[in-house]
Every structure is written in structure tokens, then in C-alpha cells.
Amino acid sequence: MRTLSLLILPLLTMVAFCAVAQETRPEEKVVPNGSDGLELTVPKDDSINTKKPEVVSPQEIAAPFSTFRIGLGFIYDGTAYKQSAVFKQQMDSMNLKLNATTKLRDFRILGSGVFRTKRTLAWKFAFMYDGSANAWLVRESGFTIGVPELWGHIFIGRTKEGFSMIKVMNGHSPWTNERQMALDPIPILADGIKWFGFEPRTRIFWNLGAFNDAISNGQGFSTFEWQYVARVGYMPIYDKENQRTMHVALNLRYGKPNNGQFAIKSRPQSNPTPFLLTSGSFAADRSDHIGYEIYYSNKRLTVGSEGMVHRFHSNNGEDHQFYGGDVLISYALTGTTRPYKTVGSIYGFVPVRKSVFKGGWGEFEAVLHASTFNVNDGSVKGGQFWRITPMVNWYLTRIIRMEFTYGYGIFDRFGLRGTTSFFESRIQFTVM
């Protein structure tokens, strides 16, 4: 408890300090800083060239060669369970016991800025304490280079591969508390280069990346020696004025697992819960992954779905195929719609019109999410999990979010089918 207090108190002080820095001044321009939809502001005047740094906001200054912006994130979870007798039997078979718990999911510090160059050149750095790994880790860090000649940007460094919209979006911004289970075989980060863009006339967007583990080898997310990723899509509808958007995309991925082996581990969309879908290590000399994504928004309503197949191939052993997907319905109860960003081709953070600290109620969002992941194929019997999740998100301010989540899960493994209910809550602080 004392350790948690030491984390929370400085954080709350920083949040209070940064709360006033959320509005962009009229004399600033906004530039992208990565494919996750985050943006930075740069003064239009020449103050960035002055010897004395100018304070753009309490969290951002304009120094002689670059702006500098500091950000942070904090997520803390609480989870309780109601388990059927069969589910408890399954947990006994895995030598697991699920008890109500609270847990720090992560705490991260971020630095970012834009260099004073003719061509857009932005940088970012993130350092995160991972509550699951109990370790400090370097997260998304690198450089974004503007290439208007190619209708987009190039990112070099440690970043998200680009497979799936929900895995490109900033981890603090999605509708649900956790990403769907079927995405767990895709590493959260990779080191390499990617080109992402949007051509407004045709409304075609793309994300093409090439990555390897030359730097990240040995880190928990580095499960592939190398991988190539393509996300290509089209917007049949893009009507900003009437708040109507339709987005469809195809995801492709080809890679070489480390040391000719791979192991799938997936949580049931609950970070404090242990890995329940586990394949164990199996031979895999290469893998290919294919998926779709489709989203439609009409003012307050958003409906979306993503599905994927992961295929692993062995030169001297069994091939394996695992599949999963999800369906999402979101409704903005208070009328504020989540913006769509053509930089990265993703949805952004929910804007808050009047925070609870200024006499308002903030914003409320109701979400219904259903998902499944099957890790059974041939000699691999990792199980299958289905989950349906109704939840409510309360955005008290632009930087404070609370989540109230119920999940009903069905677990099929060891020749048994057990059920459990998840009762979850989350508090999240995001200053980006």
C-alpha cells in the first residue's frame, strides 16, 4: 500500500498541474507524432529559435532546436470473480486459483517533441513500469518523418507493428478495458521501420512495416526474429460534417518465430487474470497471419468487428492454425462522438466538453463487446475462451477515465466447459 501511495500522490500532483495544458492555443499548429493518433503542437512564430525556451503549456516548451513535451499514463485495475464448480476444476488442473485482487497495470513516462526542420521530424520516447512483468521497459520510441510526397509518414524505431486497428490505437484510448484475446500472438511492439499514410482523393490508407529483433532480442515482446506487416484499407464513407465514417481493412503478416519455436499465451481480456489459453511451445519455422477489420460510426453509435487467423508452419513437424475475433457496439450516452483520425487510420480519445471539475458530468460511453479465441489444433490443446462484456466508460476529464466492467466467460479445456463472471473496475490517468 505504501508503494502504491508513493506512485499515486506524485501522479495526482502532475495530473493537476497538466490539466490546464489540454487546450491548443490559436497560434499553434498540430503535427502527428506516430501512427497511434497522438499529436504535438508547435508555435507558428519563431519562438522555437530563441535561445531562451518558451513555455508553450505547463507540459510543453519550445526549446532552441525542438519542442519538448512531457506526458504520463497510469492504469490501476480491480477484479473479482464468480466461478462455476467446473471452472474451479479447470483452474485446479492448471494449478491456478483466482481471487479478487487489485493491481497496478502500468505506469509510464513519455517525452516527445518536434524538431525545427523544414520537413516534419518528430521524436518520442516512452519508459514504462509493467505491473505484470514487475519491470521498467522502453516502450514506443523513435522518429516520425513527414513524407507528403507519399501522402504520409515514416516511423523508425520501436513501435506497434500495424496489424489491427485496435493494436495501433494508443493503449489508453480503446473502447474496451483490454484488447481481444485473438490479438495476443501479435507482439505489442517491434523494432524497425514503417510507412503509414492516407490518400484523401481515393480514401485509401495503408501501414507497411518491416521489423527484426536485432535490438529487442531477449525482451518479452520479441517473439519473432523478423516480420513483415501490411495493413491496407478503404473508407467507403468519410463524412466529417455529419459524423459518419465507414472503415474496412485487410491485415497481412509474415514472420519467423525465434529459434523455430512459438508458444501462445492469452489472458481472458483481464490483465489481473493469469494466462488461461496456453499452447505450450511448438515447432514453428515461419508464420502467416491474416485478418479483417470493419468499423462504422454514425454520430453517437459505433459498430465494429475484427477477425483473424494465425498459421504456423514447421519444416519437420505439425502445422497449426488458430483463429478468433470480436464484435463491438459503442454508444455515446452524453452525445460526444469519438473522432476518427486519418493519421494512422484509427479512432482517437473521447473529447470531454465539460469536466467534473468545472461543474459538468464529463462524458459517458456504453459498450458491448463479444470475443473468442481458439487455441486448439492438432496436438496443441490450448483451449478456447468466449467472453461477452458489457461496460460503461466515464470520462471525468480529458485525462481521467473510469471503467465499470462485467464479463461473462465460457472456458472450454480439459474436456470440460466452465463459466466465470468478471467484476472489474479501472481508473486511468492519461496526459499525452
The pLDDT value given to residue 1: 41
Total domains in the fold of the chain? 1
Asked if 189 and 167 touch (Cβ cutoff 8 Å), the reply is no
CA dist., res. 131 & res. 135, Å (int): 7
Query: What is the average per-residue pLDDT within 313-336?
Result: 95
Cell of 240: 466529417
Report the distance separating Cα 230 and Cα 290, nearest Å: 10
Are β-strands 141-147 and 121-130 bridged in parallel, bridged antiparallel, or unpaired?
antiparallel
DSSP states along 18-36: HGGG-SPPTTEEEEE-STT
- pTM confidence score: 0.88
The pLDDT value given to residue 29: 52
* pLDDT tens digit sequence for 47-103: 334 444 555 455 677 778 888 889 999 999 999 999 999 999 999 999 999 999 999
Q: What gap in Å lies between CA 32 and CA 39, rounded to an integer?
A: 4
> CA 432, CA 419: separation in Å to the nearest integer?
38
> With contact defined as beta carbons under 8 Å apart, do 77 and 103 qualify?
yes
Domain of 400, in residue numbers: 2-431
Beta-carbon contacts of residue 36 (< 8 Å; ≥ 6 apart):
140, 160, 168, 169, 170, 344, 346
Residue pLDDT, tens place only, 93-109: 999 999 999 999 999 99
| CATH number (domain holding residue 76) | 2.40.160.10
